[in-house]
Amino acid sequence: MKKILSAVLAASVLGTLAFGANNQAIELSNKMFAAKKDASAKELQIRDVCTKMHNEIFEVTKNMTPAQSDDFWKEFQMQMRKNMATLGKDEYFNPRVCKGTMRQHNMRNCGSNMGAGMGRGMGAGMNPNCPNR
């Protein structure tokens, strides 16, 4: 009788532990789903902004000569560096925020090479795949 009671008690304890683990899994899964759903909506916003910026750069540079394009990119990068220099110590800025989005949608990531080529001349690190480059 003692063995039967011990077995019933052990099964009861294990069942309770498994039920608690299932509740935790359900709660965490629901929480994770909500967080990823929110992140996905933000990812769509980022993609839209990056696509819009890409299209604007393409429109501005599509009819430029190579010399005009070089001048444009040098000035563009200089202005981006100036803007970055104004950031406060607690401000976050990711100059490559569009990189993954643009690659995922087979678009050229123009204008995101901040810091690339510094020390080798202003335009040395520019993206050669961008319009008129």
Both tokens of 97, joined, read: 């925020």
pLDDT surpasses 70 at 93: yes
Contact between 105 and 44 (Cβ < 8 Å): no
- For residue 19, how many C-alpha atoms fall within 13 Å in the half-sphere facing its CB? 6
Average pLDDT, the chain: 77
Say what the pTM is: 0.58
Cα 81–Cα 86–Cα 87 angle in degrees, nearest 5: 100
pLDDT by residue (tens digit) across 117-131?
333 333 334 444 455
pLDDT by residue (tens digit) across 27-61?
999 999 999 999 999 999 999 999 999 999 999 99
CA distance 51 to 54: 5
> At residue 4, what is the residue type?
I
